[in-house]
Chain A
Amino acid sequence: MTTVTTRPSLDEIRGWLGDVPDPEVPAVSVMDLGIVRDVQWSGDELVVAITPTYSGCPATSVIAFDIETALRQRGIENLRIERRLSPPWTTDWVTEEGKRRLEAYGIAPPAEEAGGPSPFERLLRKPLVIACPRCKSENTRRISEFGSTPCKAQYQCHDCLEPFDYFKCI
């Protein structure tokens, strides 16, 4: 006879969190973006650790609320959302699926690994070539280092002429 447990498995919970969209980039989930750092049972309490993408990201509290709402709807009553600052969030944690979804949504995904050259070095090198997420042309230019949110930069494609967001590396 197997033991009957009413507690959902961690994989199941991660699956549910995979359906919680990021409030500012709803094409990707909070799992795709690597915002959820850990899901653990601590006794009867479920502890979900999340990390902010940027210090001032106003979406962080909305994300915590959305996660809580989603888990409560699944019947988890005893839960705690923990904010974790270290190690700091990096675009390297965006999953391959997340990158694919970003591009399909019209946002160019991060183009290199984070933590490369320091700014003092980076200042002196040529800017990255970012391909247009719509027509794939590499004939693009950066309009601004900051886009509609702190995590994105603004680009424009010279071929299809569309402006687009680039999810920049951090």
Chain B
Amino acid sequence: MSDQAALFEYLLRLGDNALILGHRLSEWCGHSPALEEDLALSNVALDLIGQTQLWLNLAGDVEGRGRDADKLAYLRDARDFRNVLLVEQPNGDFAATMARQFYFDAWHYLLLRELTGSKDSRIAEIAAKGLKEVTYHLERSREWVLRLGDGTEESHERMQTALDDLWMYTGELFETDEVDQAMIRSGMGPDLSTLHEPWLGLMHATAEEATLTLPQPGWAQRGGKRGMHSEHLGYILADLQFLQRAYPNATW
């Protein structure tokens, strides 16, 4: 794999994570348990879609085949998406959405913090911009894990179930493959395995404060980074891409 191809793949991963999670969160719009939460989830979704534009436009530039963020978002099929499995998991109840968010935000924060030191200044700039936003995402999702975990019997139960159910999708976040290796070699991206320890530290501290039990390390579900997705992604794309598929090149 050439350096350029690896960089393109890497940027797709960054962009697709933000896009698919942003889309998932936007599904809450109008359905949240409270108006404040409706606004907050939509705002986090908006941040993530904004970051998607930056990453995927850069990916398109690197690829050099005239594809911009819109073309990459709307005209690829599931096997060409490079997001981790965690972000495509269904919203479930509010606890599941917040647990998914907390797992992702903490990792996202650590990753972007490393990427601000990327040798590729374009990557470093986008990371610096995104990091400021993700800081608030993390603060908020952590607070919800605490509030629900250390809340009523039912909220505790639901948050514990959510942490347990989503745990197997967290292993993939810290695995490195040949794309990640190429990024490490060129000084463009961090060794993802080094993010595991600080991530786990925050998970343990938060679970303890929330009176929750963090699942034990175990078998990890993987494949999203290589385009092997769960059945959920196809349904997301059916919704996300409908307009461009039905009315090609439609604009507003």
Contacts and interface: CB of A to CB of B under 8 A. Distances in A.
Interface of A: 52, 54-58, 85-90, 114, 118-120, 122-123, 143-150, 154, 168, 170
Given A56-B48, A119-B109, A150-B46, A85 B126 contact: yes
Interface string B103-133: 0000001000100000001001110111011
Nearest to A88: B129
B43 interface: yes
24 contacts: A52-B50, A54-B50, A55-B54, A56-B49, A56-B50, A85-B129, A86-B121, A119-B138, A119-B139, A120-B198, A120-B202, A123-B138, A123-B142, A143-B36, A144-B36, A144-B39, A145-B143, A146-B36, A149-B43, A150-B46, A150-B133, A154-B36, A170-B133, A170-B136
A147 B50 contact: no
B162 to A, nearest CB: 20
B43 A146 contact: yes
B47 A54 contact: yes
A58 B47 CA distance: 10
Given A85-B54, A149-B43, A54 B133 contact: yes
B191 interface: no
Contacts of A52: 50, 129
Contact of B135 (A119, A149, A154): A119
Given A90-B132, A146-B44, A154-B36, 9 more contacts: A56-B49, A56-B50, A85-B129, A88-B125, A88-B128, A120-B198, A123-B139, A145-B143, A146-B40
B89 interface: no
Given A55-B133, A87-B128, A119-B135, A148 B50 contact: no
B51 interface: yes
B210 to A, nearest CB: 12
A3 to B, nearest CB: 40
B37 interface: yes
Given A86-B128, A144-B37, A55 B47 contact: yes
B66 to A, nearest CB: 20
Interface string B131-160: 011011011101100000000000000000
B97 interface: no
B53 interface: yes
**Interface hub of B50, B132, B135 (most chain A Cβ within 10 A):** B132
Contacts of A55: 47, 50-51, 53-54, 129-130, 133
A88 to B, nearest CB: 4
B188 to A, nearest CB: 16
Contact of B40 (A90, A123, A145): A145
B131 to A, nearest CB: 8
**Interface hub of A123, A143, A168 (most chain B Cβ within 10 A):** A123
B47 A150 contact: yes
A57 B37 CA distance: 18
A56 B51 contact: yes
Contact of B125 (A57, A85, A145): A85
Contacts of A146: 36, 39-40, 43-44, 136, 140
B119 to A, nearest CB: 15
Q: Which 4 A-B residue pairings sit nearest by Cβ, starting from the closest?
A: A56-B50, A55-B50, A144-B36, A146-B40
Contacts of B142: 123
B125 A86 contact: yes
Nearest to B139: A119
Contacts of A170: 132-133, 135-136
B51 A147 contact: no
B139 A122 contact: yes
A88 B39 contact: no
A168 B136 contact: yes
A52 B47 CA distance: 11
